[in-house]
Every structure is written in C-alpha cells, then in structure tokens.
Amino acid sequence: MKWFANFRNVKYILIAIAAVIAAASLLVSNSLVKDLKAEEEKKMEIWAEAMNSLNRADANTDLALVLTVLNGNTTIPVVVTDSNGAISLHRNIEFSAGADSLAVLMQMVADMRLRDQKIRVDLGTEEGSDYLEVCYSDSLILKQLAYYPYVQLAVVLLFFAICFVAILSSKRAEQNRVWVGLSKETAHQLGTPISSLMAWTTVLKEKYPTDELLPEMERDVARLQRVAERFSKIGSLPEPTSEDIVEVIDRAVEYVKRRSPAQVTYTVNYPKRPLLVRMNAPLIEWVVENLCKNAIDAMNGAGAITVTVSQNDSKAFVEIADTGKGIPKSKHKRVFEPGYTTKKRGWGLGLSLAKRIMEQYHKGRIFVKQSAPGKGTTFRMELKK
C-alpha cells in the first residue's frame, strides 16, 4: 500500500531531521561553552593579577581599580590559599546549613587542583617561598550551559516521539477505517447472492431430492454464509464465548484439508479435550484457514503441514508448521504488515487481518516462531484460557 510506504519514508525523514538538529545543537552549545570557559579563565588571570597587586601595594598605591576588579567577580567561585595550604579568602561559595565550611573548602580546592584550575601568584620574596594559589571553578552559568544541549536534545527527541506517535495513530485509524469499510461492504455485497443461492438449493431439493450433489452445495452455501458473517464482524467487537479450541481448530483444518492438493499431507497433535478458551470461533477459524492456505502456497502445493495444540496454566497455543520455502529472519515481522506479499497475485491482507483478529479482538498474539529460507515456517498463536 502506497500510504504505508510513504509513512515509512516520513518516519525515516523525521529521524534524520531529529539527528541533524541534535548534532547541530550539541556542536553550537559546545562551542559556546568553550568560548565562555576561555573567557572565565582570562577573567581569573586578571583577578589573580589584581590579587598580586593588592598584596604588593604600599600606603601610596591607588587601589581603586584593583578593588573594582576583585569585587567585580560575582559569579566565579574562588578559593585563595597561602604557601602553607591554609585558606585565606573565598568568594561566591554557598554552604549548606550545618556543613563544615572548612572541610567543604578544602575538598573544593582539591577538586580544583585536579582539574588544573589554579593560578600561582608569587609574592616577590627572595626565596620565592611565599606565594598565593588562586583556585577557581566554573561559574553556575557555565555549568548550566554545559548541560543545556542535553536538555534541549531530550526536548527535541520528545517532540519527534510525539509527532511519530501522532502520525502512527492517524495512519492506524485510517487503516482501521479501510478495514471496516471494506469488510462491511463485502458482507453486504455477499448477502444478496447468498440468499439467492439458498433459495435455489431449496428449489433443487424439491425437484431433485435424491441428487448426491445437493448436500455438497448446501455445505458450500453455509460456508459462504460463514464467510459473510466473518466480514460483518470486522469493525465491531464480537462477543467471545467459551469453546473447545481443539474442536474449532480441527474444524478449520478439516475444511482446508478437503480442498488441498493431494500432495499436501496433514499431521495434527491435539491435547486431551476439552481445552476451553474464550474466543470468537468463526474468526479463529479464519486465522487458521489463512495460515494453512499460506503454508500450501509456500510449499507450491506439495509438502507437509503440522498443526499442534498445547497449553500451560494460563494460555493455549496453536502452532502451524510447513515444509515450504521459509521466511528470512529480517522479514518475520514485516509479513504482518498490510500490503506485504510475496505472491504475484494477492493484496497482502491475510496475515494483517490475522494479527488484527488475534491482538485486537482476542488480546492474544500471533508471530513467526521459527523460519529460515529452505527450512519451512512455524507460526504460533497464543490465546488466554
């Protein structure tokens, strides 16, 4: 289906756009962070020089500019230590209530030194043993800016996730409307010819009561009624009933078996009856018949089909295995997509409808249990008991 292919293209385009925006955002933000960090380093070099000028000043030195520089730092955390490691000054550092301020400052100094965020200021003694060490850290603004691109990336990803879910929901709603409209119209169109066929079989029974073909005709007409009933249930939630799944599966297999090529053999493995499951029997029969017919097509009309019914404490399992050409692992999920088919003639709706019946109507599962090219395929159905 074209709309589904277009949706896949839109999905990839959205992912590509999101990746480009995220990469551009990270690059720009990292560049800004680097520039701001370099600017703060220059400021601290000037601040350290002002500190040096303050310590060398005498009574006649004008300290107005020096004090302006020192007091102008209101954002960058600074700790000044002497040559003995004792803390002589700190700025722009907040302490939590009850915290040991000295221990906090010493830990901050250790961290600053590890990051090489320190400037040594010699005090001009002859031995050079007296000095101050200006240790500093990134400002709060710089730290916030460093985290900003990742927050921005999260927001962009969230936005595209919402867009993706909205598009998916829209397409799914459109798909549902197509299924419902197609199914209802099919059931409606089948109603008139089925009624006519029922009337003709009644006439033929009265005129040829002993004809051997009439019972078979009646069964085919009943079959057409069941098909129309199945189509009429699409789009509504059929009321499930508790039924023996072995009986339902066996009925569907026997129907397909009578119409299969002679070169197709069937093997069934059933547990002890009854195995009660809440389900809509006509729709489950439809799924089984569809899987069996697909198996026959995959084997080109010659091979073996094995149907196995099993259970655990809470679920019933139905497995349908064939000896056909198999499915590549990369396409195990794609086979359930609307429009996907490997047949020259076909709409690719059978397995999609089967998935819809199992998941939406019965809250169960259907999936490819195992398959490989040339080694056949096993489909598994799971239903709550």
Give pLDDT tens digits for 89-113.
888 888 888 888 888 899 999 999 9
Q: 324-366, pLDDT tens digit by residue?
A: 999 888 888 888 887 667 666 555 667 888 898 898 888 899 9
- What pLDDT is recorded for position 238? 64
DSSP string of 350-365, one letter each residue: HHHHHHHIIIIITS-E
What is the dihedral sign for C-alpha 11, 13, 15, 18?
A: negative
Judge whether 138 and 92 are in contact, CB under 8 Å. Answer: no
Distance, in Å, from the CA atom of 365 to the CA atom of 324, rounded to the nearest integer, reads: 23
Q: 223-277, pLDDT tens digit by residue?
A: 788 777 767 766 566 678 899 999 999 999 998 998 899 899 999 999 987 899 9
Per the model's pLDDT, the better-predicted residue between 23 and 81 turns out to be 81
Lowest mean pLDDT among 120-129, 263-272, 312-321: 120-129
Buried b (16+ CB within 10 A) or exposed e, 342-375: eeeeeebbbbbbbbbbbeebbebebebebbeeee
- What pLDDT is recorded for position 19? 79
Q: Tell me what the mean pLDDT of segment 113-131 comes to.
A: 79
The residues near 319 (Cβ < 8 Å, ≥ 6 apart) are 306, 307, 308, 309, 310, 369, 378, 379, 380, 381
Instruction: In the chain, list all ranges with CATH 3.30.565.10.
Output: 238-384
Q: Tell me what the mean pLDDT of segment 201-211 comes to.
A: 83
pTM of the model: 0.51
Q: Exposed/middle/buried for 95, CB within 10 Å: 0-12, 13-18, 19+?
A: exposed
Instruction: In the chain, list all ranges with CATH 3.30.450.
Output: 2-144
Judge whether 88 and 82 are in contact, CB under 8 Å. Answer: yes
Say yes or no to pLDDT of 2 above 50: no
Distance, in Å, from the CA atom of 88 to the CA atom of 80, rounded to the nearest integer, reads: 6
Q: 263-290, pLDDT tens digit by residue?
A: 999 999 999 878 999 998 888 998 999 9
Say yes or no to pLDDT of 142 above 50: yes
Select from 127, 45, 100 the least CA-distant residue to 78.
45
Indicate left, alpha or beta for 20 from its phi (over 0: left) and psi (-120 to 50: alpha): alpha
Lowest mean pLDDT among 126-130, 202-206, 247-251, 308-312: 126-130
Total length of the chain: 385
Lowest mean pLDDT among 211-220, 290-299, 317-326: 211-220
Please give the class, per CATH, of domain 2-144. Answer: alpha beta
| The CATH number of domain 238-384 is 3.30.565.10 | yes
- What pLDDT is recorded for position 206? 82
CA atoms within 13 A on the CB side of 292: 29
Distance, in Å, from the CA atom of 298 to the CA atom of 295, rounded to the nearest integer, reads: 5
Q: Tell me what the mean pLDDT of segment 146-173 comes to.
A: 80
* Phi–psi pair at 101, nearest 5 degrees: -60, -40
Distance, in Å, from the CA atom of 4 to the CA atom of 347, rounded to the nearest integer, reads: 13
Q: Tell me what the mean pLDDT of segment 172-176 comes to.
A: 72
Three-class SS of residue 299? coil
In the chain, % of residues over pLDDT 90: 25
Please report, for the chain, how many H helices and E strands are present, in that order. 8, 11
Q: Tell me what the mean pLDDT of segment 311-326 comes to.
A: 93
